[in-house]
Structure formats: structure tokens, C-alpha cells
Amino acid sequence: NAGRGSVFNAEGQQEMDASIMCGKTLAAGAVAGIHNVKNPIRLAHKVLAHSDHVLLAGEGAIQFAKQHDITFEENEYFYNKYRFEQWKKLQGSTKSQLDHSEEKDKYFGTVGAVALDQNGHLAAGTSTGGMTNKKFGRIGDSPIIGAGNYANDKTCAVSCTGTGEYFMRGVTAYDVSCLMEYKGLSLVEAAKQAIQKLTQLGGQGGLIALDAQGNIAMPLNCPGMYRGFRQGDGRGFVGIFGEEK
């Protein structure tokens, strides 16, 4: 549910969000409510690299994209039959739908990535199309630094997916970092506690997290979340359901 493959909003269009953050400098870039941008995460990086701002939204973000050689595509490029049929079931209603509550084999949610390089620097990126049939220019947690995305070399890099309103209320991505920095928790325990708080708030989803020592955490409180990792020595893991890791 990002870029091509994003869900349809109430008007039958794609409104996409993305953010990216550098753990070394705490520099960040984000875009929200954009349309027709082929790769929203590339635009978020342009904001990080070529703007004094962190978050650009709507038509202003589109104007910025046109000044920085970002690739645009026509509406047909973003069309996806599965996504269209998803939307048609909700069209005209007041309901919106999160991917994580879909049928058992279709957990195509927000796309996130966290990385640790050979110099010990962390980074996090998150990109999403949001919720099916969303209205009123709704923005979720994905472009909000500290809510759905965060990176700090002192602690960890985090990318979240799920019910964005609750990740924003819980400041979930930053919560993981705070629990490590100020309470001295391990990455795994901090991530677990952050998801426990999300559950208490009533939210559903999960996160992927990585610390400066290469430790990995991928907790979730929903039926499924596509997730995986690859380490420098070639070891890897892929999971969909439950708590395989």
C-alpha cells in the first residue's frame, strides 16, 4: 500500500504519504496528501536534502516535486484492480478500512524500511497510501516524524504500520527510542512496550525496529504483517502471521 498499489480514497484517487529520517543528523523529510508522484519516498528524501522544512503537504509538495525532477505518472499507472474492488465495497459509506483487518492472506499495508550501515548509522523510511475510502484529506502517522517513523543513532530506527491515529496519539516510533534512551530498555523490550501501549489505546498494527548494535524487533498486535530482515552475513528472515519472531 504505497506508490503504485496504494488504496483509493473516498474520491476514487490515491493520496499518498511518506517520510525518511537520518539517525546520524536527525535530519528528516516528509510529504503528505500527494498525488501522481511515482515514488513518494523519493520526494520525502528531496525534502530532507533540499529544504529547510520537514513536512510538505498537498499542492505545495507537488510544486516542490516539480522543481526537483521528481517523476510523475498518470492516474492509470496507480490503478490496481484489487484495490479498486476494495474501495467499491466501501464507496458511498462513512467507513474506511485498514489493510491489517483484511482477509487472512492480504496484509498489504504500509511499506517501511530501517537500515544500519557499516559506519554504525541508522535510517528509517515509511511510505503509504493510507486507509481505503479515507476522507477529508486524512493524514496518518507515516509522514509524522516520531509517530510512524523515527531514527536516532543513539538508540534505534523505527517504521510503523497500522491504525495511524493511534500511532500518532502514542507517538509510537519515538516512544521506542525514548524507552531505550531514558529508561535503558533493550530494543526488543522497548518495542514490545510501545506496542502494548498502542493496544491499550485501542490501536492495531506493528513496527519494525533496528538498533545501533544490529538488534532487530518486529512486534505486532494484529493478525498479520509482512516483515523480514537481511543481515550483513547473509542471514535473513521473512514472516507474515503471528509472532514468528
Name the residues annotated as catalytic: 110
- Going by C-alpha positions, the residue among 183, 96, 156, 157 that lies closest to residue 132 is 96
Q: How far apart are CA 186 and CA 198, in angstroms?
A: 18
3-state secondary structure of 186: coil
Cell of 32: 503528505
| CB within 8 Å of 167: residues ≥ 6 apart | 140, 141, 147, 148, 160, 173, 198, 203, 205
3-state secondary structure of 50: helix
| CB within 8 Å of 93: residues ≥ 6 apart | 133
| CB within 8 Å of 51: residues ≥ 6 apart | 29, 64
User: Is residue 199 exposed (0-12), middle (13-18) or buried (19+ Cβ within 10 Å)?
Assistant: middle
The helix-helix angle for 58-67 and 40-50 (nearest 10°) equals 80
Pairing of strands 149-151, 224-230: unpaired
